[in-house]
């Protein structure tokens, strides 16, 4: 049976990083909930953009991905669910995070279930998720789950049973929302890449379209 795949992309830079930590927690919580509702095995993978930072810059310059970056892009675009986690830098997602999604074809994430999450030093930047990450994935026509998860430094010390905003509860709520969409996934969506050659419009139709227009 084909496994369900969940890929988490972490743009954290530290080793270890709180962004990676949040990505891991979200990935594991989503895996558990997705597994509960399906007989299919659930596979989780975390991609660290730090490891691909130079390759991403090279892709910007040359227009094509290195083998390692190409493989990561393939994993992201083929996943049944995506978890995208960035540190908040200068009031928005990090440049590395944005650059990774810039080198992916802009139609490749259409319809993809996505959970967005971010980390930061203080809770004051939490709305960056809503004014920066959510519009980014809306532009890509991804299906972003309603709960976005922000973890500030102080959140790492709070338990799950605290008042409504506690990190563990948000992680679980977001994971449940993503798992719900992932369970309904019928498999890898068709790639919409610009060089999907099976889709080429026959030339007579291209000519006719001009005449009709």
Partner 1 sequence: MQFGIFTVGDVTTDPTTGRTPTEHERIKAMLAIALKAEEVGLDVFATGEHHNPPFVPSSPTTMLGYIAARTERLILSTSTTLITTNDPVKIAEDFAMLQHIADGRVDVMMGRGNTGPVYPWFGQDIRQGIPLAIENYALLHKLWREDVVDWEGKFRTPLQGFTATPRPLDGVPPFVWHGSIRSPEIAEQAAYYGDGFFANNIFWPKHHFQRLIRLYRHRYAQYGHGTPEQAMVGLGGQVFMRKNSQDAVREFRPYFDNAPVYGHGPSLEEFTEQTPLTVGSPQQVIEKTLEFRDYFGDYQRQLFLMDHAGLPLKTVLEQLDMLGEEVVPVLRKEFAKNRPAEVPEGPTHAARVAARDAAALEEVAE
Residue numbers at the binding site for partner 1 (CB under 8 A): 57-58, 60-64, 66-67, 194-195, 197, 199-204, 206-207, 209-210, 213
d(CA 138, CA 156): 29
Least separation, in Å, of the C-beta of 127 and partner 1? 34
Residue 34 or 103 with smaller CB distance to partner 1: 103
Residue 91 or 209 with smaller CB distance to partner 1: 209
Integer angstrom CA distances of residue 205 from 194, 197, 208: 18, 16, 5
d(CA 24, CA 204): 51
Least separation, in Å, of the C-beta of 58 and partner 1? 5
Q: Which of 207, 195, 189, 161 is nearest to 65 (CA)?
A: 195
Residue 163 or 202 with smaller CB distance to partner 1: 202
Euclidean distance between the first and the last CA atom of the chain, given in angstroms as a whole number: 47
Least separation, in Å, of the C-beta of 105 and partner 1? 11
Least separation, in Å, of the C-beta of 111 and partner 1? 23
Residue 36 or 199 with smaller CB distance to partner 1: 199
Residue 1 or 204 with smaller CB distance to partner 1: 204
Q: Are strands 113-120 and 81-89 parallel, antiparallel or unpaired?
A: parallel
- What is the token pair recorded at 145? 């789950």
Least separation, in Å, of the C-beta of 60 and partner 1? 8
Q: Which of 132, 141, 65, 124 is nearest to 100 (CA)?
A: 65
């Amino acid at each position: 049976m084909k496994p369900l795949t969940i890929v988490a992309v972490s743009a954290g830079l530290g080793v270890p990083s709180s962004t990676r930590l949040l990505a891991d927690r979200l990935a594991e919580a989503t895996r558990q909930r997705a597994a509960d509702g399906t007989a299919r095995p659930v596979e989780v993978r975390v991609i660290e953009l730090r490891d691909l930072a130079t390759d991403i810059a090279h892709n910007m310059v040359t227009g094509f991905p290195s083998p390692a970056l190409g493989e990561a892009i393939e994993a992201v675009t083929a996943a049944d669910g995506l978890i995208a986690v960035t540190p908040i830098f200068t009031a928005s997602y990090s440049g590395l995070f944005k650059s990774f999604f810039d080198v992916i074809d802009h139609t490749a994430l259409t319809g993809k279930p996505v959970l967005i999450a971010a980390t930061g030093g203080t809770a004051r930047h939490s709305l960056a998720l809503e004014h920066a990450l959510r519009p980014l994935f809306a532009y890509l026509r991804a299906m972003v789950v309603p709960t976005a998860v922000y973890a500030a430094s102080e959140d790492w010390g709070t338990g799950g049973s605290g008042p409504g905003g506690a990190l563990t509860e948000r992680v679980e709520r977001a994971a449940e929302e993503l798992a719900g969409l992932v369970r309904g996934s019928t498999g890898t969506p068709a790639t919409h890449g610009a060089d999907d050659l099976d889709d080429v419009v026959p030339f007579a139709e291209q000519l006719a379209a001009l005449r009709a227009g």
